[in-house]
Structure 1
C-alpha cells in the first residue's frame, strides 16, 4: 500500500476511533523492544508479580508484539477516559463508608473496550477490502499477554509515571487502555517524553510503600493487588494501611498533578459511577451472601473476585473503622463457611472490641 493511502487510512481510523468513544489513539512500531523486555524480566525475577502466575507463564509472548505475532507491523494504542466526577479520596477515614476504586464504579471496562475495538476492527477491514488491501489484525483488552502501558507510551498517548501507570497530559491518570496489532505498516507517532520531573506525590501517597523506587511497583504490597488478586488472608502488616479500601486503590493516581488537566468531557458515558458504588455503606456490604453479591455487582468488574474475597476486604475495613455499630454484622461472619472470611471477621471483632462490645452495640441500654 502506498504511503498516501496509508496516511488517509490512518486519518480515517483516528476519526472512527473518536466516534466509537476512544479519547486517545496513537501508533507505534510492532517490533519488540529489548529495554521493555529486560524490565519485564527484572520485575518477574524480583517476584514483584506475587500470585499473578499468568504474568510469568506467558512472559515469552508478553515481551513484545512480534513475540506474540511475528507478522505484526504496527500497534494501534487506544484509551478511553474514565476521569472521575468526584474526589477519589473523599471517603478516606469514613467509619461508615467503603472506598471502591474509581475504575470499578461504572460498567466493566473489558466489555466496553472490547466492543469498541471490534467495531474499529470491522471498520478497518471494510476500508481495506474496498480498495483491495490485504490486512490482518488482533485486538486486546487487558486479559491478553500485552504490555498496554509501555505500548501506549511508545504510541504517544502519555508516559509511564513513577507509579508505573500511564499519565496523559490531556486525560491525567484516568485512561483504560486497549491495543490493536495489525499487518499494516502505519507511520508511527512520536513516543511521549516523561514529564514527572522531581514530583514524588504518587510515591509519598502510597499507604503500603509498594514502590521500592520510582517507576517500579512491588505488586505484593499494593492494595489493588491485595484486594483483587490476592486470594488468602490479608497479611497483617497491610491491614491497617488498607483503611476502608475494599476494592482497589486510587491514591497514587488521584494525587498526580496532571489530573488537573483531565478532560471531563472526554469521559465515556459507560464509566459514569453507579450511585450505590460511590459511597457504599459497610453495614450493607457485610450482609451480602453469594446470590446478593452477584446480583449487586452484575456488569461490574468487582464480580470477578467473588463474594468471599469481597467480604474479606469489607471485614478489614470494618476492623479499621472504629465503628461499633458494625459489630453485629462482623460477629455473624465469624462463623462463615469460608475460613478466610471467618479469620478476617475474628480480626475485625478484636479490633472493634470483641464479643462484649458486640453485645453492648446490640443492646445499648
Structure 2
C-alpha cells in the first residue's frame, strides 16, 4: 500500500474515533450529471423561494469549480437516529411535531467542530503545503450526490441519502483537500420497487421517484417559505411545525439504522404544547430555542406554523390561543390566527372536523 493509502486508512480510523459513523472519498468531478439535474430542478421552479440555489448554480452544480485546487472530497456521515418513531406525535393534535434533527443542539455546530478537528489532524499528517476546506450544509455543495459517489449510501426515491448500514438518519459533512487520496467506489441504489417514502408524503411533494417539488414539501413550507402558505397545503400539514420526517421514517432500511453516539442530538425540545408555543413573543422564542436549528426561522414563522397546527387540531380548547394573535404585528401571523379560528369555529359550532368528519 502506498503512502496515500496508508494515510486514508489512518484518516478513516481517526474519523471513527472522532464520532463519525462512516467515511468515503471521491473526486470533485465525480458527479458530472449534477449540473444538468440542478438546472432541470430550477427550471421547473421546484426550488420555490430558495433563490440562493439559483444564485450559486455554477458552484452547486460543479464541486470542482468551488475550489479548483482540490483533488479529493472526503465525505463523512454522522448518525442522529431517534430512539422512537417520530410519527407517534402526529396522533397528539395538541402537541407540536418537530423534525428529529432539530430536537437537539444545532447539527451545524456539532458536525463542523468535529470536521475541523479531523481536518487539523489530517494536515498534521500531510506533506507541507496541503490544504483543506470544511463544509456542513451552508456552502454551495451538493453533499448527497458527492456522498453517493464516495460510497456512503445512495439517494433514495425521496432524494435523501440512505445506507444499508446506517438507515436514513445521518448528517453529512465534507472536507475538500488538495491531497490526492484513494477514491472509493460509488454506491448503487437498493430501493428496488419500494415506494414507501413516496407513499408516506402528506402533501404529494414527489412528482416522480427521485424528484422533489419543494413547494409542496412540509420541510420547505415550515422552514424556508416566507409569508402565508396556500390553504390547500396548510390543511395537509397536520401538527408539523418544523420540518417533516415522514418519508425518512417510512424507509424499510431503518431496521438497520445505527444508534446515535453524540449526546447533543438527544431531544431537548421534544413535542411541546401548541398553546405554549403560540404564546411566545420574540424574546421568549429566542430564549427557548437558543442553540437549536429552530432559531433560524424566527418567532413569526414558527408561530405561523403553530397556528396552522392549531387550525388542524380540531380542538376548540385552542381557540383562545389563536384569538390572542388576531392583532399580531406580523400580518402573516394574524392571517394564520384568523384561519385557525375559522377552522376551529366550524368544529365548535357543528361538531365537524376540518376535513368534514364528525368529532
TM-score with structure 2 length normalisation?
Answer: 0.95
1:137 to 2:144 alignment: no
Instruction: Classify 1:295/1:224 alpha carbon distance in 2 versus 1 (closer, same or farther; 3 Å).
Output: same
CA contact (8 A) 2:31 2:146 kept: no
User: Is 1:272 equivalent to 2:275 in the alignment?
Assistant: no
Among 175, 178, 195, the alignment partner of 1:180 is 175
Q: Where does residue 90 of structure 1 map in the other structure?
A: 88
Q: What is the alpha-carbon distance in structure 1 between the residues aligned to residue 274 and residue 329 of structure 2?
A: 20
Q: State whether residues 31 and 73 of structure 1, in contact with CA within 8 Å, keep that contact through their aligned partners in structure 2.
A: no
Q: Is the 8 A contact 1:152 1:158 kept in 2?
A: yes
Change (3 A) 1:163 1:356: closer
| Structure 1 residue 354 displacement after superposition | 7.1
When structure 1 is superposed on structure 2, of 3-12 and 112-121 the one drifting more is 3-12
Q: Secondary structure at the match of 2:235?
A: helix
> What's the CA shift for 1:32?
5.4
In structure 2, the partner of 1:225 is 220
* Structure 1 residues 356 and 33: CA distance shift in structure 2, 3 A: closer
Give a deviation string over 1:202-227, Cα, whole Å, max 9, x none.
11010110000000000010000000
Matches within 5 A, 1:324-339: 324-339=316-331
Secondary structure of 2:299's counterpart equals helix
Residue of structure 2 in register with 1:72 after alignment: 70
Quote the residue 2:353 is aligned against.
none
- State the alpha-carbon separation in 1 of the partners of residues 335 and 18 from structure 2: 46
Which residue does the alignment assign to 2:258?
263
RMSD: 1.4
1:18-45 deviation digits (Å, cap 9, x = unpaired): 1111111101111253212111111111
Q: How many residues align?
A: 349
Q: In the alignment, does 2:9 pair up with 1:11?
A: yes
- Alignment-derived partner of residue 342 in structure 1: 334
**Offset at residue 319 of structure 1 (A):** 0.3
Q: Which residue of 1 aligns with 2:278?
A: 286
Q: CA deviation at 1:98?
A: 1.0
* Shift in Å, 1:64: 2.1
Determine the C-alpha separation between the residues in 2 that align with 1:174 and 1:321: 28
Matches within 5 A, 1:13-162: 13-31=11-29, 33-128=31-126, 132-162=127-157
Distance 2:117 2:292 in 1: 22
Q: Structure 1: any 5+ residue segments left out of the alignment?
A: 358-365
Q: State how far apart, in whole Å, the 1-side matches of 2:200 and 2:347 are.
A: 35
Runs of 4 or more consecutive aligned structure 1 residues displaced over 3 Å after TM superposition: 354-357
The 2-side partners of 1:356 and 1:174 are apart by 40
SS at match of 2:134: strand
1:95 Cα shift? 2.1
Q: Is the 8 A contact 2:30 2:146 kept in 1?
A: no
CA, structure 1 residues 310+22, in 2 after alignment: closer, same or farther (shift >3 Å)? Answer: same
Match of 1:204 in 2: 199
Decide whether aligned partners of structure 1 residues 356 and 334 sit closer, same or farther in structure 2, where only a CA change above 3 A counts. Answer: farther
Alpha carbons of structure 1 residues 102 and 249: separation in structure 2 relative to 1, 3 Å:
same
Is the Cα–Cα contact under 8 Å of residues 30 and 149 in structure 2 kept in the other structure? Answer: no
Query: How far apart are the structure 2 equivalents of 1:198 and 1:48?
Result: 25
Equivalent position of 2:295 in the other structure: 303
Q: For 1:146 and 1:286, locate their aligned partners in 2 and report how far apart those are by CA, in whole Å.
A: 36
CA contact (8 A) 2:80 2:171 kept: yes
Counterpart CA distance in 2 for 1:244 and 1:355 is 17
**Aligned partner of 2:247 among 246, 252, 259:** 252
In structure 2, what is the equivalent of residue 360 of structure 1?
Answer: none
**CA positional deviation for 1:140:** 0.3
3-state DSSP class of the match of 2:25? strand
